[in-house]
Amino acid sequence: MSDNRPPDLSPSEAAQRWLDKRSVSLAEQTLTNYGYRLKVFTDWCYSEGIESMQDLTPWLIDEFDAKRKGDEMAPISLANHQKTVKSWLEWAEEVGIAPEGVASPIEVPDVERSQHVSNLKLDQETGLELLKEFRSGSDRATK
């Protein structure tokens, strides 16, 4: 009889597996964003000496959540970061590579619609340079 237990993965290995699985249904830029957000978490894990997904506990996740909320970032950025980490941890629980309950301490803040956009205004020269770059960009789907 074969052993059907999931492997003992590091946070980085688990993140890569989740990203690989999601790559079928997500745009490349979305995957890049998710990868960056998960790297923040996996870097924190290593700084805390967490080498296995099985080492995660709800308390440790609550510590991470509190740390992120103390970082200076826009509310929408924090919400996006926390939403990504929570989704990933929920998947890790579902497939059995993380203990049950580790995703629950992540609180995704509610963000008012007005905070979804920036009110930053560019000077005319910078704006024109960005438009020129956008319109001639090689990564555009259509030109």
From first to last of its 143 residues, the chain has per-residue pLDDT tens of 456 888 899 999 999 999 999 999 989 999 999 999 999 999 999 999 999 999 999 999 999 999 998 888 888 889 999 999 999 999 999 999 999 999 999 989 887 765 555 556 777 888 788 777 777 765 544 43
d(CA 119, CA 122): 10
pLDDT given for residue 33 in this prediction: 94
d(CA 33, CA 7): 26
pTM to 2 decimal places: 0.76
pLDDT given for residue 142 in this prediction: 43
The answer to whether 61 touches 102, Cβ cutoff 8 Å, is yes
What lies within 8 Å, CB to CB, of 11 at 6+ separation is 41, 42, 45, 46, 50, 53, 56
